Each structure stands twice: as C-alpha cells, then as structure tokens.
Amino acid sequence: MSFADRFRVMEPKDFMNDSDRKKIHDAALNVLETTGIKVHSSVARESLKRAGAVVDEDTNVVKCPADLVGALLKKIPSKIVLAGRTEEYDLPLDRRHQYHTTDGCGISVWNDETKTRRKSTLEDIRKTAVLGDWMPYLSIYEPMVVAHDISSKSHVLKGLETAMENTTKHIETESTTTPEEARAQVEMAAAVVGSKDELKERHYLSAMVCTVSPLILDEGATDAAMVWAENHVPVHITGMASMGLTGPATIAGSLVVNHVETMALACAMQAHEPGSPLLYGSVQSSMDPKTGAYNSGSPETILISIGNVEMAKFLDLPCSAGGIGGSSRIPGLRVSIENSVLCSPLITAGSEVMNGIGLADGSTLLSYEQMMLDHEIVGLAINSQKDIEVSDEAISLDLIKKVGIGRNYLSEMHTLKRVREFYLPTLWDMSSFESWVEGGKKDLFAAAGEKAEKIISSHMPEKLDASVSNKLKQIVKDF
C-alpha cells in the first residue's frame, strides 16, 4: 500500500441538496455584487479591477458581478497533488482521500507534570516535525508553534527551515503575514525541489491564508496570497466567521459569509494569476452563547464545517474545511472527546484536508501528549471510513465452505494474509488488565507523553542534502 492509499476513503456522502447549495451560492453572489468586500491589498484590488470588478479606491470596497465571479472561478484547477519532499509522500486531492495536518500558530506548551504552560520555542518545532514524520496517519506537517526564542522578523522562516529539515512530508505554512515572507518561503521550497519552475509543478509547499470576517481581505496576508498565486503554491483559503459574532447566528447565514470571502480571495488570485491552485477551506465555529468566546468543539461547528464541504463540492474545488482542535483550555479528556466527535462526520462529507492535530485552547496550546492522542483519533476515524470490499476474494465463499460448521478461521492462510490489514492502535496497549497493572498502571495521557519522548529521541527523519540545507540557511540569513 502506498502512503496515499492509506488515506483512501469511501465516496463522500451529500448532506445538502443542489437546491440548498445554490441558494447559499446565489446569496453570496448577491453580497459580492451589491455590498462587496473590503480588499486592503492594492495588488489584489488592481488585479480585480483589470478583470472587470468595480473598485472604490476611497473605501477599498470591491464589487464583483456574478458573471465575472463565474468566469474567474472556472480557471481554478479542480484536482491537484500536494507533493512530499519525495514522490512517496505525494497526496492526490481527487475527492477519494482524506488527509490530516498538524495544527499551527500555538504560542505555549503544556507541562503535564506541573500543570503549567511555558512559551514555545524553535526546539518544539523540531520535535513536533520529527514526531509528525513518524506518525503513520499524519499526512501534512505545518510548524505548530511560534518560536519565541527567534526574532519576530525571522521566526516564520526559521520555523519552515526546521520543518523542512525534519520531515519528508508535505509542508503547509500558516503564519505568513507579508509578501516578503512569502517570497522567501518560495525560494526555500524551490531550493528543496530544484527550482521555481519545478515548484510550480510539484506543490511541495502550500499556505493557509485567512480572511477577516465579516467580508474583509486584509493587506499583508492577501499580498502574500498574490505571491503564492504567482508561484502556484496552493492556498488553503480559510474563513473563520464565528456564528453570532462575525457571522449570522445561523449556519446558512454564516455559510454565506464564508462563501463570499472564499470566492473573493479565489477571484483575486485568478485575476492575478489564472490557473493558480487553491483549496476551498474554513475553520468556522460557533461562539460560546454565554461569553462570545471561540467554541470549536460545538455541534454547530460540525454542521457549519460540513456545510463548507458542501459548498466546495458545489464549486468543484479541492476542499480543506474543518478539522479537530477542541476549545478546552487544557489538553486531556474533554478535548479528546470533542476531537473524536468532530472528526468522522467531516470525512463522511468529503473534506479532503483537515487540520488540528496536537493543539488545544483554540489552537494556541501545544501538548505532546494530546498530539499522540489526536493521531490515534485520526487513525481510527480514517480506517472507519474505508470502502467495504465486495470482491470474490473478500466474500471467501470457497473458504466458508471449507471451514464449514463449528470450526474457526485462525489457521487459514487467508486469515494470515488479511489480518495484516486490520487497524492496530499506535498508542494504547491492547493487553490484559493484569499486564497493565504489572506495567505500573499508567494512565493513557502519561503513556502518550512517554511514547512521544521515545519517538522524538529515536526516529531519524531523512535528512536534506547538505547543499540544500546550506542554501536554506543562507536564504533565512539574507532575509
């Protein structure tokens, strides 16, 4: 089985009909044409204006006629491949695979022994990249934390360099806020794959770009998106409208807000660089009705994420919607329950890329223990969504007749072969209660921490060629 085949799942199920999808789409087109969206990037505004959008230079509000939106959206590739450092880790986005990423932008790290937090460092990016490289059900690594021991000017590039050195999997960058950072990261990715031309063909790097709800494309991130577009670095367009706060307090209404923002940035990219790849994404949520706080573990979060998957289907675009990453303030039982509930419905709906492994408290708190637990949750979810094989060999009619009545299948070669396809947990022990007692009665969270430490100290990711490593260091130094 290839690496990508590990993530092949059953055909997605529809949760909305075409009529309802079209209602949301038409409402979003109405907003784009009449209310418009504020675009703080002069590069994006100029590209949209050349394409035929109406731009108010005094307010930076851009209005796009429906026919222009439709024409620009048709330029987006409907299927792409997110490449690994080597072809072994390539990830086709073809509606039949489901991939998980680590979460990003954490600012602190949990110490379970003392139940305290500390500031995150570059070493945490190295360790989580090594751990992510080992994880059989993690498909994509994104630098998980802000390195407080690195200057704010260079921490994004140093984090990316550290990731490139310590995993062979596809890398997604999340914290880019300027076009200069984007250009430097393009140079780094090009150094790994061979050239900028090769990078346009092999999408080794992708980038998350968040819109600002409601109805704003900010300057720095949108300028960076134009750089990503020029170099055909796939962009995960990620709206984060919160129901009742930065979006209407209904799922359909907040879906409209996200659809407007997503189409606006998609159109800006296509007006700037036709054919540039992107993914329709979101990590929308509901607010806590008592406090207004971010509430990523709610039932509404599941439903609105499914709704965004449905809108990606409507536009026939690759999908990067939803994910895990509960809003519990500390790692452990609550966030694990939230993540378990969040995961499977989105795979069923057809989200192709979901983020969230390893962080709690609204994607701000890294926990090595939670990272291991989340990986197990993902492994269980993906393997529970596989196609049910109904071939002659799988039906095993001759074998059933051979074994007959009252015997068992344990000694059969068919069993020996097929049992190797069964899912095996990567974390918890399946042995007896007595074995658990003899092993010191360790709880699952403690066992997760111990296993993470063992993997980090023993797993050796494939290293970059020395000349490439030196080039990355020079790019960061020059920046």
End-to-end CA distance of the chain: 41
**Residues with Cβ < 8 Å from 63, sequence gap 6 or more?**
32, 33, 34, 35, 36, 53, 54, 55
Q: What are the structural domains, with CATH classification, of the chain?
A: 4-16+74-383 (3.20.20.480), 392-421 (no CATH)
pLDDT 10s digits, 26-39: 999 999 999 999 99
Give the side-chain half-sphere CA count within 13 A for 123: 6
pLDDT 10s digits, 242-262: 999 999 999 999 999 999 999
Element (H, E) at 48: helix 42-51
**Residues with Cβ < 8 Å from 407, sequence gap 6 or more?**
none
Element (H, E) at 91: strand 91-93
pLDDT 10s digits, 103-122: 998 999 999 999 999 999 99
Q: Rounded to an integer, what is the distance from CA 33 to the centroid of its chain?
A: 30
Average pLDDT score over residue span 58-86: 98
pLDDT 10s digits, 173-221: 998 999 999 999 999 999 999 999 999 999 999 999 999 999 999 999 9
pTM for the full predicted model: 0.96
Predicted pLDDT at 151? 94
| Mean pLDDT value across the chain | 96
Predicted pLDDT at 297? 85
Q: 68, 49 in Cβ contact below 8 A?
A: no
* Angle CA 336–341–343, to nearest 5: 95
Predicted pLDDT at 348? 96
- In this predicted structure, the answer to whether residue 292 has a pLDDT above a threshold of 80 is yes
Supply the Cα-derived Rg of the chain in whole angstroms.
23
Predicted pLDDT at 302? 93
Average pLDDT score over residue span 142-164: 96
Predicted pLDDT at 68? 98
